[in-house]
Each structure stands twice: as C-alpha cells, then as structure tokens.
Amino acid sequence: MAEIPAQGPGDHELIRAAQAGSEAAFEALVRRHENRALRVARNLVSNPEDARDLAQEAFIRVFKSLERFDFRHEFTTWLYRIVTNLAIDTLRKRRPQVSTAAPEDEEGEWELAVDGELPSEGLEREETVSQVRACIDRLAPHFRTVMVLRELEGLPCTEIARIVGATHVTVRWRLHRGRKLFQDEWSRMQGAGAKPRQHPEARSVRPSETTSRPEEG
Amino acid sequence: MTDESLTCPDVLEKIPLYVGDDLEDLDRADVGLHLSDCASCRRELEEARKARAAFVGHLDRSLEGPSSPSLWPAVRQGLLEEGLLSEPRSVRPSPGPRRLLPLAAAAVLLVALGGVWDWPWQAEDQPGIVDSSALPAVTVAEDLGPVRDPFRASPLLRESSGLRRVGWSDTRLLDAAPGASSEWRLVPEAEVRPALQVNQLAGYR
C-alpha cells in the first residue's frame, strides 16, 4: 500500500464529489489518507490487526458523517480526530489488562531482527522495545494521543488541540505531563542502580501532585 | 541557579517541553541561558532527552509495504454491509462509446437475425404511428445506429441490458443520459420510414 501523494483534486473537492454520491471520490480519499490513519492507529493501539480494524472503522465513520463535514477545516484534522477517538475508546476498554511486564503472548510481534546484529544484541534490543512499550502502555490514553500526534505526526499543539477538542493550553499540559510520566517510568525500568544522580530539586510526577493543571477542554 | 529570572525548579518544570522544542521563544531562550551555567539542570535535560529518544525511537513510522492491501476493499465491504453503498457503484461514470460496444454488437446481431427469420409477432405487431407526446421524453446522449427492437427479439437481452421500453418502433437505439435507462425513442412516421429502409438493407422485411 503505497502512500498516495495529494495530486489531482484536493480533499475538499473529493469530499464534495463524495457527498454528491461519487464512490470513486470517496475511494480516492481513503487511498490518499489510509497510511496516515493506519500509522496513527498502530502507534496508539500497538496491535497491527486492531489498528487496521480501527482505521477501517474510522473511514466508515467518515463516510457516515460526510454530509456534516465542516469545510472550514482540513480533512486530516477530522480524520485524526475520528482515529484518535476510536483508539482512546479501545485503550480504555483494554486498560485494566495493562501491565508493566512485557506481554508474553505478543512475543514475535515486533520485527526485531536486524541484519548483522549479534543474537545478544537482538535480545537486548527486544528487551528495550518491551520496556518502552510497557512505559507507553502505562500512559493514560489522552497523554499517549497527544504525544503520538506530536512526536509521530509532528503536528503543532494548536492543530492537536483541534483534533482532540481541547484548548491549546491543555494540550501543552498533556504533552508536558506525558513526557514527564514516560521519563519517570522509563528511568524506573532502567533500574535504580543504573539511575544517574538526580537533581536535588527534581521531583517525580505523582498522581497526587498538584501540577498547575488547566481546565480540561 | 544562574539566571535571575528562572530558578532550577522553574527550569526543571519546563524541561519536558524544552526537550521537544515546544516552549515559546522567550521561555526557550531563558531556559537555554540557565542551562548554559547549571550542570545539574543539564543532567536533567540529558535524562529527558534519553527518555524522549526512547519514545520517539519506538514509534512505528513505517508505511505499509507495496504488497500490503489497501484498506479500501474492507472499507467498501463494511459500507455495503451497512447498506451505505449499493452494488454496483452508486455513481457510474458516463457510458462512453466503448462501454456500449457490446450492446451495439448485440443489437446489430439481432438485426441480422431478423433478416434470416420471420418472427411470428412481426405481422401483428408492426408499429403504427404512436403518439409520442403521451410518452416520457428521452434525453438523448448517444445514437447507436439503426436496430430492431431488441426486447422483442430477446427477453434475455432485456433482462441483462437494463433497457427499459417505453414504446416500440423500428428506429434507432438511443442511449439515454448518464444515470437514466436507455430507451427507445418514438418517432413520427416520416422518421420511421428511413429507419425501415435501413433495416431492409440489413435484411429486415
């Protein structure tokens, strides 16, 4: 599935044609943006099959709501919103099962083998991936969503705010807090012995901490 | 603490955004100034960078391979199952001459067959002059040439072609506008005669 560059009619033109009943226009829209949807979904829900189902469902929802599309916005903003909302729903349903331990049943899911890599290096790399993944799994869905949209898609906080339906300040707060939570978890997993000397004034983020939290928007 | 405007706790609080270049310009400059003189905060920055690198490095940026199937067939199937699309495609491209070639070929074949056999219904069903004003108008998009009424010659063709008969005459098969059914056009007698002459050339009696 190769990425289709945005050539030919723009997204808004395709949406108008699809609204008028053109299946071909909607197909073009799906093919143009499917990699984007799939990439975000895969990084939010981890499991490739779940991600594929999620991206597929997102496009079906797009089709259902096509008549209500607001042409003042980009199509991608809308698509991201649908994908992330579906992902958050999936993550919330799954959350009680999350553990910091590497899931045994997902062994082999990651393509870890690298040409020329020693077996011991492969194991070490696998261990690192498992640790990172466990840290990400411990992040609440709304932190994870903001971090993925920022770090993976490179979207500015203002755009993320439109996607997640929050204020710019809230998005920055989630990004700040998500990174801090991830770092604390990551440091903890690296082991206390290997942990470098901490700044005397540094604090870890705790759930009870009264960080200046903006009104959730 | 080296900068008067920012304390170490201030800077530590800003590092998670500083590390991803997400601070406003003024804040970024202040933090940078503080870091240039504060080794403890620089160590914290280094830890934050390592953690962020781990997160970013974990992200799967790969696109699907060229052989991976597109989502479209599954999306389309989902839409069909929910009754949001109809089979075949809800909007068809306008039928061009190439798309109508099989139909035209079938029609020509029927004309030829008409010249070989006398159809039993010909004698009693020969057209009279039909009042075309009483029948629905047809938007003509393309003239496929002279043919006999294919509905009479082949019920199978009627079923498979999707043509809709609104009257009959030895006239010309006309393809209606895109989205509409093809129809027979009813014509005045003056126009029927030349058509009959054409059909006679093809063997029609």
Answer yes or no: do B53 and B120 share one domain.
Answer: no
- Which residue is it, tokens 């039928």? B95
Domain count, chain B: 2
CB contact under 8 A, A179 and B66: no
pLDDT tens sequence across B84-107: 988 765 444 344 445 555 655 665
ipTM: 0.76
- Report yes or no: A176 and B16 within 8 Å, Cβ to Cβ: yes
Judge whether residue B9 has pLDDT over 80: yes
Residue B86 lies in a domain: no
A115 phi and psi, to 5 degrees? -55, 135
Has residue B80 been placed in a domain? Answer: no
Looking at the fold, whether B128 and B192 belong to one and the same domain comes out as: yes
B47 plus B142 within the same structural domain? no
At residue B113 the predicted structure's pLDDT band, cuts being 50, 70 and 90, is: low
**Which among B40, B59, B63 has the least Cβ separation from residue A35?**
B63
Residue B148 shares a structural domain with residue B197: yes
Q: Which residue of B has its CA nearest to A190?
A: B51
Does B146 score more than 70 pLDDT? no
Those residues with Cβ within 8 angstroms of residue A215's Cβ, 6 or more apart along the chain or in another chain:
A167, A170
pLDDT at B165 over 70: no
Our CA-based measurement puts residue A21 at a distance from the nearest CA of chain B, in whole angstroms, of 6
Contact B66 A1 (CB under 8 A): yes
Q: How far apart are CA A190 and CA A128, in angstroms?
A: 9
CB count in 10 Å sphere of residue B140? 13
CB-based contact B22 A177, cutoff 8 Å: no
Same domain (yes/no): B53, B104: no
**Residues of A in Cβ contact (< 8 Å) with B74:** 52, 56
> Cα A14 to chain center, whole Å?
26
Between A114 and A143, where is the model more confident? Answer: A143
Q: Using an 8 Å CB-CB cutoff, list chain B residues near A28.
A: none
- B13/B102 same-domain check: no
Q: Are both B22 and B103 inside the same structural domain? A: no
Give Cα B39 to chain centroid, integer Å: 62
Write down the pLDDT at residue A13. 95
Q: Are both B105 and B184 inside the same structural domain? A: yes
| Closest chain A residue to the Cα of B54, Cα to Cα | A132
Residue A78: alpha-carbon gap to chain centroid: 15
Mean pLDDT of B159-179: 38
Q: Residue A200: pLDDT band by 50, 70, 90 thresholds?
A: low
Higher pLDDT, A71 or B150: A71
Cα nearest neighbour of B56 on chain A: A151
Helix (H/G/I), strand (E/B), else coil: B173:
strand
Q: Residue A174's closest CA among A131, A132, A216?
A: A216
As separate numbers, helices (DSSP H) first and strands (DSSP E) second, chain B gives 9, 3
Inter-residue contact A111 to A119 (CB < 8 Å)? no
Residues B34 and B106 in one domain: no
Tell me whether residue B146 is in a domain. yes
Which domains can be identified in chain A, with CATH numbers?
Answer: 9-97 (1.10.1740.10), 116-191 (1.10.10.10)
Domain, as residue range, for B167: 97-201
Residue B54 lies in a domain: yes
Q: Which of A64, A147, A203 sits opposite B55 (nearest CB)?
A: A147
Residue among A132, A179, A198 whose CB faces B58 most closely: A132
Nearest to A202 among B12, B68, B84 (CB): B12
